[in-house]
Amino acid sequence: METRYGSWLGAGIREEFDYYADVCFRAFGDRVKYWTTFNEPNLFTKFAYLLGEYPPNHCSPPFGACNSGNSRREPYVAAHNILLSHAAAVNNYKKNYQAKQGGSIGIVVAMKWYEPLTNRTEDIRAARRALSFEVEWFLDPIFFGDYPREMREMLSANLPKFTPEEKKLMQNKVDFIGINQYTAIYARDCISLPCNIMTYEGNAMVLATGERDGVLIGKPTAFKGYYDVPQGMEQAVKYVNERYENTPVYVTENGYSQQSDNSVEDLINDVGRVNYLQGYLTSISSAVRKGANVRGYFVWSLIDNFEWGFGYTVRFGLYHVDFETQKRIPKTSAKWYRGFLAGAGPVDDQVQALKADS
């Protein structure tokens, strides 16, 4: 695909993806009832075509120094082709498969929650702009037929336009939205005050930071830039519901990371993960009680695994894995989560009981 079309930079890949999706619907649709067309396309396009950290490693100054690429245009061309590939697959599923197979189809986006670093108008706008360049970038075209206003104003001709036919294709809206939500972070404006934009939020002219006046936004985790900020989850699901017509939301990823070089005892006795999960689930529960349309929640992850660019250096699992022997041991969090699902008592009582058992 890279050779034939330039990967996601070529419009020809849309037909290939539509065919691939059709093969999946035909082969697995009698058993698979929940389909997501893409997982975190907003994250992928930034790291692949803005910052050049993922294959095909495209970027250009001031966002990075790669052998090829155009960071001011390529991320948005790739996203455009991904969105139209998504639309083709959704249209096919709803037209030819949904009625007889009885499934539903959606898309999953990565989503931080952004809080203004200060009460300056510029930082308030920066937090809003960061959401536009992360979440609305992919969801607004699906629901409203075009990219968000903030992106149009900043990117101008670098942001592709949808033809009338493409807008019509986009009208088959998703049945649900998945969000992978781990953290909240502060947003500082980079338009009024210069700052480093070789970052994930740099194309929005935003600098993300976990610290305000020397105080962290939440307890840091092993994953750089990810903090334990449970209230951000409630804000995130509320925001998605309110902006996108109360469409059902699934929290398709949420979890806590540990450094792999910790002792096995510390890795298994993961009280930090228990507190994290309890906080985020409480936040989701609060949102639901206030009317949020959240249909499901998935912990990332069941077992320690290969974490993409981070390899085996960080662990998200409820079960500890010895990567040499493949032996799996339930962590404190696995026992707590099992008790939570069974309706056990408060988290503090459970942790103390688990410590006593061990």
Residue 24 confidence (pLDDT): 98
Which pLDDT tens digit goes with each residue over 46-81? 999 999 999 999 999 999 999 999 999 999 999 999
Residue 356 confidence (pLDDT): 52
Which pLDDT tens digit goes with each residue over 205-240? 999 999 999 999 999 999 999 999 999 999 999 999
Q: Does any domain span residue 276?
A: no
Q: Per-residue pLDDT averaged across 306-318, rounded?
A: 93
Q: Does any domain span residue 351?
A: no
What are the backbone dihedrals phi and psi of residue 109, each rounded to the nearest 5 degrees, phi first? -120, 150
Which pLDDT tens digit goes with each residue over 275-305? 999 999 999 999 999 999 999 999 999 999 9
Q: Does any domain span residue 309?
A: no
- The percent of residues in the chain predicted with pLDDT above 70, rounded, is 96
For residue 179, what are the β-bridge partners?
A: 109, 251
Q: Beta 211-212 vs 294-297: how paired, if at all? A: unpaired
Q: Per-residue pLDDT averaged across 22-40, rounded?
A: 98
Could you give the residue numbers annotated as active site? 40, 253
Residue 78 confidence (pLDDT): 98
In terms of residue numbers, what domain contains 239? 1-254
Q: Does any domain span residue 310?
A: no
Give the predicted TM-score (pTM) of the model. 0.94
Residue 175 confidence (pLDDT): 97
Q: Half-sphere exposure of 339 toward its Cβ, with a 13 Å CA cutoff?
A: 20
What are the backbone dihedrals phi and psi of residue 6, each rounded to the nearest 5 degrees, phi first? 75, 30
Q: Does any domain span residue 29?
A: yes
What is the chain's length?
358
Cβ-contact 175, 105 below 8 angstroms: yes
Q: Which of 119, 118, 114 is nearest to 132 (CA)?
A: 114
Cβ-contact 225, 211 below 8 angstroms: no
Residue 79 confidence (pLDDT): 98
Specify the number of domains making up the chain: 1
Q: Per-residue pLDDT averaged across 265-280, rounded?
A: 97
Q: Given pLDDT bands bounded at 50, 70 and 90, which one contains residue 171?
A: confident
Which pLDDT tens digit goes with each residue over 314-356? 999 999 999 999 999 999 999 999 999 998 765 555 555 555 5
Q: Does any domain span residue 86?
A: yes
pLDDT averaged over every residue in the chain: 95
Q: How far is CA 14 from the centre of its chain?
A: 22
Percent composition of the chain: helix, strand, coil (DSSP 3-state, to 5): 45, 15, 35
Residue 253 confidence (pLDDT): 98
Q: Does any domain span residue 343?
A: no
Q: Does any domain span residue 281?
A: no
| CATH number of the domain to which 97 belongs | 3.20.20.80
